A and B are shown apart, each in its own frame.
Chain A
Amino acid sequence: MTDSDTILRMQDITKTFPGVKALQDVTLDVRRGEIHAICGENGAGKSTLMKVLSGVYPHGSYDGEILFDGEPCRFAGIRDSEHKGIVIIHQELALAPNLSIAENIFLGNEQATRGLIDWNKTNAAAAELLRRVGLRENPTTQVVDLGVGKQQLVEIAKAISKQVRLLILDEPTAALNDEDSDHLLALLRGLRDEGITCVIISHKLNEVMAISDRVTIIRDGRTIKTMDLVADEVTEDKIISGMVGRDLDNRFPPHESHVGEEVLRIEDWTVHSPTQHGRVVVRNASLNVRRGEIVGLAGLMGAGRTELAMSVFGRSYGVDISGKVFRDGREVHLKSVQDAIKHGIAYATEDRKRYGLNLIEDIKRNVSAAGLKKLAKGGWVDDNEEFKVANEYRSSMNIKAPSVGSIVGKLSGGNQQKVVLSKWIFTDPEVLILDEPTRGIDVGAKYEIYTIINRLADEGKGVLVISSELPELLGLCDRIYTLAEGRITGEVNRADATQEGLMTLMTTHGTEVAR
């Protein structure tokens, strides 16, 4: 390979934090005009590497060399790297919700004439950029009114407006449904054909397979290998074994369910949107879960999965809720989260950082948060018991942390998820609703979460799993419901379920289903 082929070379990058070597002699070569994927478990060092590249960690805070277009670079901050045409789009999007699309695109790069912002010029330029990324929206629309998928496109339009030459996307499709993901991936291919080089960090290996030309695998802060997808005959399993350092014959632990009595039944459940007056989010949904059974709930984003779960969980979402909930065959009225917990229902949220954890507190206070009453006598908490309980969960759930006094915000995604699950298991639930239990966590930790879910079912609890990843539902669940536009459109047993079959049911228009 000659230097003219290589747009970016990161050579022997070593980055040390107090007590931790986050990166050690990492080398990354990105060729001009390719889509280059970086794969690795959470905590492997992918994000750190990208922060070094984009100047978040300035020159001097790491060892090694960065060559961009053959020139050594010494970025003091993000502005320097953006000046060179390196733009990073983070997993958590950085748009100002109450500004328009056009204002966001040109934020910090305002289109001015004689010192005043020229709104005609701004909006016209924004419209042109939106056309390029295939987003049919008015440039004056507020970003808050867009879905996550569209916001992602606004970010890319913003990057293009900065004359991007190397676009870095950190988990770009993590929050997108399949349709939006496909659109985004097609867009990236288009950008590649226009000469924009892309680096994509992704946990979704099927996407990596579908879109990238080469893939670099990072494990424990070191480069494991870089493979050419075609020349090296890369498969998903090959990537996975590189990431985890072992062959994963099976991504799902073997499990046989022993299904018992019905533990939860929902009948004719209808929920209206709290923000958009009169909009029905869930319509006449009925489903049931039995003891020892793992039931899946599949649906595209916006189908009403989370809304269904949260409205059942003590009316945490929605207005004008109607329908019935039965626990062990008896009707219950769950008017608050406390009611739901009292009746043995637990709900682990899809967004653990925003809705699941107190990130500034330690493990033990998060584990006890929902079941504090169990540790209290007459309103006083026994903090020695709390320590003991948290320690038990730390070992039984294999939470990797120096102690239960570790701050939760500093744990990896997988370990945070284990804390969330511990918190809910500690409330002694009979039914657990797990909303995207493996979102944003690495392959090894996923396997552990699946094992925990199986264990819960074996203990006779009912588990309802909501997931965007169909292989996960197929590998885990005994029975899968599909949800489309707020209606249950199908119920499939594991033996009969296929990805294609489920996808068909998930994309059925609500109106086509008989009442």
Chain B
Amino acid sequence: MTSVAPTNADLALGTPSASEPGNSPRKFNINLRESGIYIAFALIVVLFAILTGGDLLAPQNISNIIIQNSYILILAIGMILIIIAGHIDLSVGSVVAATGAFAAVMMVNWDVPWPIALLVTLVFGGLIGAWQGYWIAYFGIPAFIVTLAGMLLFRAVTLMILGNRGIGPFPDEVRTLTNGFTGGYLGNIGLGSLGGADLFSIIVGLLVVGAIFWSQWRTRAGRQKYLQVVEPFGMFIAKIVIAAVVVMAVIIQLARFRNLPWVLVLLAILVIGYSVVTNRAVFGRQIYAVGGNLQAATLSGVKVKGVVFWLFVNMGVLAAVAGIVFAGRLNQANPTAGNSFELDAIAAAFIGGAAVQGGVGKVVGAITGGLIMGVINNGMSLIGAPSEQVMLVKGAVLLAAVAFDVWSKRRAGASR
């Protein structure tokens, strides 16, 4: 278990089906289908921890996995929403390149102050999303075609901006944001008994654990007040304890290295924010409604075109975030940046339990899917596997994940 993000938000938001009454065999099936991805993730982590002789879970390596996969995970958040709504976005890799290039030109060539440059880059990403969203939502061209065109268009824009060379370096603040770590703000107090882990990071970890407990407790109490069936108290506590142990283990390991990567903080905010939006916000509900049955959503008063349009705007903004993070990490905007990122983001979403037909999926699932691929990449390179083997394994995992989903759906459907 290498990251705070999935376990944290997963447990903080809970799975509604776990608390529904029903006959026990069915409940078990649903749980397996929804939690299968997390079990698979845990098994993969354990497998590579053993194969690498523990190197996978070393402080620096955990830090590397998070930083190296951060931009894919950011893209996966936007992608899962689009896939839930029944669309796809093939252009995100090119948008990452274009926005990164635009940010670099502003900061390096035009000396625009970095906060303004970042803001303008996000707006630029949003405009790209609006362009694609217009053709998809209002003009009615399939997203596959529009974003395939976008893949070419925005790669061309990148080349026009950069003129086939890299631009850098970025201001220090941007580099810290994308590649740096939180400091030891309490005077770098290291705890010897925890391998010299920094006290400040430990306190942050404890606060996160407390927040998980508090939000879970409130959700549970709210449900009980409405006489909903909740999971047994023992199970409830066990889940929180597991979450707390995982969060603390990851944070202590990070604190032993160079504290928390800033992109981890960014990711955690994005994951929690988007999870809450998909679960609790009217807009989130509308995404599922559109993907589940477009016509029924239309006739229920959902402004379907608006929902789809804003989803693509959102994807554009997130692609700009990923573009800044990626360029900042390399300290250079590159014409070939973001190549095939769209495929990784799409694979993350589908490994994470999205349905090909739309209407199904979770932000946390997509993040876990992205981390599964990240751990496979990292673990296999640690044991010195050649890249063709890595590709082979990733392809097999993607196919197996979707096959499992289709199989479990078919089995559930046959019961009537």
Tell whether, in the assembled complex, residue A379 and residue B225 are in contact, meaning their CB atoms are under 8 Å apart: no
Does residue B382 face the partner (Cβ distance < 8 Å to A)? Answer: no
Which residues from A are CB-within-8-Å of B302? 369
Interface segment among B291-299, B331-339, B346-354: the answer is B291-299
Which residues from A are CB-within-8-Å of B280? 380-381, 383
> What size tier do the contact residues of chain A reach?
35 or more
Does residue A464 face the partner (Cβ distance < 8 Å to B)? Answer: no
Complex Cα distance, B283 from A168, in Å, reads 46
Does residue A195 face the partner (Cβ distance < 8 Å to B)? Answer: no
Query: Which single member of A19, A313, A337, A341 contacts B25 (CB below 8 Å)?
Result: A19
* Contact A369 to B282, CB < 8 A, known contacts A358-B359, A405-B17: no
Tell whether, in the assembled complex, residue A355 and residue B225 are in contact, meaning their CB atoms are under 8 Å apart: no
Does residue B20 face the partner (Cβ distance < 8 Å to A)? Answer: yes
Complex Cα distance, B279 from A359, in Å, reads 18
Does residue A158 face the partner (Cβ distance < 8 Å to B)? Answer: no
Does residue B16 face the partner (Cβ distance < 8 Å to A)? Answer: yes
Complex Cα distance, B17 from A345, in Å, reads 33
Does residue B384 face the partner (Cβ distance < 8 Å to A)? Answer: no
Which residues from A are CB-within-8-Å of B54? none
Which residues from B are CB-within-8-Å of A514? none
Query: Which single member of B222, B226, B292 contacts A359 (CB below 8 Å)?
Result: B292
Complex Cα distance, B22 from A405, in Å, reads 9
Which residues from A are CB-within-8-Å of B298? 316, 337
Complex Cα distance, B298 from A347, in Å, reads 12
Does residue A231 face the partner (Cβ distance < 8 Å to B)? Answer: no
Q: How far is the CB of A199 from chain B (nearest CB, A)?
A: 22
Tell whether, in the assembled complex, residue B296 and residue A379 are in contact, meaning their CB atoms are under 8 Å apart: no
| Nearest residue, chain B, Cβ from A355 | B295
Q: How far is the CB of A137 from chain B (nearest CB, A)?
A: 28
Does residue B410 face the partner (Cβ distance < 8 Å to A)? Answer: no
Query: Which single member of A17, A358, A388 contacts B297 (CB below 8 Å)?
Result: A358
Query: Which single member of A313, A347, A354 contacts B295 (CB below 8 Å)?
Result: A354
Interface segment among A255-263, A370-378, A471-479: the answer is A370-378
Q: How far is the CB of A315 from chain B (nearest CB, A)?
A: 11
Q: Which of A369, A405, A406 has the most CB of B within 10 A?
A: A369
Complex Cα distance, B260 from A269, in Å, reads 66
Does residue A10 face the partner (Cβ distance < 8 Å to B)? Answer: no
Does residue A410 face the partner (Cβ distance < 8 Å to B)? Answer: yes
Query: Which single member of B25, B299, B303 contacts A356 (CB below 8 Å)?
Result: B299
> What size tier do the contact residues of chain B reach?
35 or more
Q: How far is the CB of A489 from chain B (nearest CB, A)?
A: 28
Does residue B26 face the partner (Cβ distance < 8 Å to A)? Answer: yes
A window 339-396: CB within 8 A of B: 340-341, 347, 349, 354-361, 365, 368-370, 372-373, 376, 379-381, 383-385, 387-388
Complex Cα distance, B21 from A113, in Å, reads 60
Which residues from A are CB-within-8-Å of B293? 354-355, 357-359
Which residues from B are CB-within-8-Å of A347? 299
Tell whether, in the assembled complex, residue A379 and residue B222 are in contact, meaning their CB atoms are under 8 Å apart: no
Tell whether, in the assembled complex, residue A379 and residue B281 are in contact, meaning their CB atoms are under 8 Å apart: yes
Q: How far is the CB of B158 from chain A (nearest CB, A)?
A: 36
Does residue A222 face the partner (Cβ distance < 8 Å to B)? Answer: no
Which residues from A are CB-within-8-Å of B301? 314, 336-338, 340-341, 370
Tell whether, in the assembled complex, residue B282 and residue A372 are in contact, meaning their CB atoms are under 8 Å apart: yes
| Nearest residue, chain A, Cβ from B226 | A384
Complex Cα distance, B222 from A383, in Å, reads 10
Does residue A18 face the partner (Cβ distance < 8 Å to B)? Answer: yes
Query: Which single member of B17, B25, B297, B360 contacts A18 (CB below 8 Å)?
Result: B25
Which residues from A are CB-within-8-Å of B295? 354-355
| Nearest residue, chain A, Cβ from B29 | A18
Complex Cα distance, B223 from A349, in Å, reads 33
Which residues from A are CB-within-8-Å of B355? 360
Complex Cα distance, B282 from A341, in Å, reads 17
Q: How far is the CB of B314 from chain A (nearest CB, A)?
A: 15
Tell whether, in the assembled complex, residue A402 and residue B285 are in contact, meaning their CB atoms are under 8 Å apart: no
Does residue B109 face the partner (Cβ distance < 8 Å to A)? Answer: no
Which residues from A are CB-within-8-Å of B26? 18-19
Tell whether, in the assembled complex, residue B415 and residue A361 are in contact, meaning their CB atoms are under 8 Å apart: no
Tell whether, in the assembled complex, residue B416 and residue A337 are in contact, meaning their CB atoms are under 8 Å apart: no
Tell whether, in the assembled complex, residue B299 and residue A355 are in contact, meaning their CB atoms are under 8 Å apart: yes
Tell whether, in the assembled complex, residue A410 and residue B416 are in contact, meaning their CB atoms are under 8 Å apart: yes
Query: Which single member of A356, A359, A361, A373 contacts B288 (CB below 8 Å)?
Result: A361
* Contact A381 to B416, CB < 8 A, known contacts A337-B301, A358-B296: no
Q: How far is the CB of B353 from chain A (nearest CB, A)?
A: 13
Tell whether, in the assembled complex, residue A379 and residue B289 are in contact, meaning their CB atoms are under 8 Å apart: no
Does residue A403 face the partner (Cβ distance < 8 Å to B)? Answer: yes
Tell whether, in the assembled complex, residue A384 and residue B225 are in contact, meaning their CB atoms are under 8 Å apart: yes
Q: How far is the CB of A416 from chain B (nearest CB, A)?
A: 12
Tell whether, in the assembled complex, residue B17 and residue A358 are in contact, meaning their CB atoms are under 8 Å apart: no
Does residue A423 face the partner (Cβ distance < 8 Å to B)? Answer: yes
Does residue B228 face the partner (Cβ distance < 8 Å to A)? Answer: yes
Query: Which single member of A17, A338, A360, A376 contacts B282 (CB below 8 Å)?
Result: A376
Tell whether, in the assembled complex, residue B292 and residue A403 are in contact, meaning their CB atoms are under 8 Å apart: no
Q: How far is the CB of B299 from chain A (nearest CB, A)?
A: 6
Tell whether, in the assembled complex, residue A403 and residue B21 are in contact, meaning their CB atoms are under 8 Å apart: yes
Does residue A20 face the partner (Cβ distance < 8 Å to B)? Answer: yes
Which residues from A are CB-within-8-Å of B21? 402-403, 405
Complex Cα distance, B296 from A410, in Å, reads 17
Does residue B193 face the partner (Cβ distance < 8 Å to A)? Answer: no
Which residues from A are CB-within-8-Å of B300? 337, 369-370, 423
Q: How far is the CB of B229 from chain A (nearest CB, A)?
A: 8
Tell whether, in the assembled complex, residue A360 and residue B360 are in contact, meaning their CB atoms are under 8 Å apart: yes
| Nearest residue, chain B, Cβ from A407 | B412
| Interface 1/0 per residue, A1-35 and B, CB below 8 Å | 00000000000000001111000000000000000
Q: How far is the CB of A481 from chain B (nearest CB, A)?
A: 23
Query: Which single member of B223, B283, B416 contacts A379 (CB below 8 Å)?
Result: B283
| Nearest residue, chain B, Cβ from A372 | B282
Tell whether, in the assembled complex, residue A355 and residue B292 are in contact, meaning their CB atoms are under 8 Å apart: no
Tell whether, in the assembled complex, residue A384 and residue B299 are in contact, meaning their CB atoms are under 8 Å apart: no
Tell whether, in the assembled complex, residue B283 and residue A316 are in contact, meaning their CB atoms are under 8 Å apart: no
Complex Cα distance, B355 from A241, in Å, reads 44
Complex Cα distance, B283 from A355, in Å, reads 20
Which residues from B are CB-within-8-Å of A316? 298-299
16 contacts between A and B (CB under 8 A): A19-B26, A337-B300, A356-B299, A358-B292, A358-B296, A359-B292, A361-B292, A365-B289, A372-B282, A373-B282, A379-B281, A383-B280, A384-B222, A403-B229, A405-B20, A410-B415
A359-B292, A369-B300 given; name 14 further pairs at CB < 8 Å. Answer: A336-B301, A337-B301, A360-B359, A361-B288, A365-B288, A369-B302, A372-B285, A380-B281, A381-B285, A384-B228, A387-B228, A388-B226, A402-B23, A403-B21
Nearest first, the 3 A-B pairs at minimum CB distance are: A358-B292, A405-B20, A370-B300
